[in-house]
Amino acid sequence: MKIRAKAPLRISFAGGGTDVPPYPSRNGGCVLNATIDSFAWGSLRPREDGRIRLASADFNLLLDYTTQSEMLPDGQLDLVKAVINRFGAKDSGGFEIFLHSDAPPGSGLGSSSALIVALVGLIKEFQKVRMTPYDVAESAYRIERHDLAIQGGLQDQYAASFGGFNFMEFYGDRVVINPLRVNPDVLNELEHNLLLCYTGQTRRSDRIIEDQTQRLESGNAETIDALAQQKQLAIDMKSALMRHKLDDFGGLLHSAWEAKRHMSSKISNPLIEEMYAEARKNGALGGKITGAGGGGFILFYCQFENKLRVAEALTKMGAIPKEFAFEGLGLQTWRAPEIVTTMGVFDSGPAAYPKAV
């Protein structure tokens, strides 16, 4: 019997950066985000021969260990090793894990955190451990931020664990998830009018976060003011959403980008600025980078009549539009029966499987 898991990726609308320590403990942070129908996927098959095999389609890697091996960070599937180490999963008869994601690392859609959430889902089911969505998100956060010392915020792990539209509040000692009951007509209209475009560039988010944190710690007034604006914009955008004022929502998305650009000089670059200006010229009311910045995906709000024109203009600049729908569920795990095949990933290697696009 195989164990399967999937955890959704997310788009962030406003508040990003206020979830990054030390800001939440000092000022309290809040974020408005939603999960989409793109996922981090995982599969685990138990073994009884003491072998542990890890495969990633995204990195075209296949690693072999035993239950007696040390799994030390070395730049190869460190996220996977960290989850295994955190849960003591090596104390078993062995297992195989296969992973892939619908978006590349550095995309700004929270793919790395979603992958950890999916891995936690696999291991907790394998070990028959009961965990709430809060437990899963907290474990994923500690693995990524503490065990691996990757700088970043809290929203991605909680988004992948809970799923749906959420207004999240972050404090020094707790996280509060407020699920939003968005009217179905509003959700449909948002999907109709939102445009998600891949810039063609990925980035290291931890370097941007490091710069933002250093500016905060040094008392940089521009960064402090931009973070305060992000908090207020998350509140205002939630209000516009719940009151069905979507053109106001689109305009606030523009304000969120204007504030975000002042949090760190590394958030934007000439290509992003050119794409954003071109989108606005062709009718986008607003938009913003979906993650820390520096590359990845840009989210635009357009009245539907202008959406195709914006997409066409950005495509000419090398951007890649991506269709999406909102996803209401968070982490899902299930069990699947073994299917006997003549060849599998652990016979031929992950290169036999197509990479995520």
- DSSP for 145-214 reads IIIS-----SHHHHHHHH-SEEEEEE-SS-EEEEE----HHHHHHHHHHEEEEE-S----HHHHHHHHHH
Which residues are paired to 196 by β-bridges?
299, 322
> Tokens representing 224?
């402090």
- Catalytic option among 19, 58, 156, 211: 156
Backbone angles phi, psi at 279, to 5 degrees: -65, -45
Q: For residue 328, with 0-12 CB atoms within 10 Å meaning exposed, 13-18 middle and 19 or more buried, which class applies?
A: middle
What residues contact residue 100 under an 8 Å CB cut-off, 6+ apart? Answer: 40, 41, 56, 57, 58, 353, 355, 356
**Distance from C-alpha of 120 to C-alpha of 236, rounded to nearest angstrom:** 34
**Distance from C-alpha of 352 to C-alpha of 44, rounded to nearest angstrom:** 18
Q: Which ranges constitute the DSSP H helices of the chain?
A: 23-27, 78-87, 111-126, 133-142, 155-162, 184-193, 205-217, 221-242, 246-260, 270-281, 304-316, 345-348
Neighbours of 145 (CB within 10 A): 19
Q: Among this protein's residues, is 206 annotated catalytic? A: no
Among 270, 354, 331, residue whose Cα is nearest residue 121: 331
Does residue 278 sit in helix, strand or coil?
A: helix
Backbone angles phi, psi at 33, to 5 degrees: -150, 175
| Measured CA distances, 303 to 224, 251, 315 (Å) | 33, 11, 18
Give the residue numbers marked as catalytic: 156
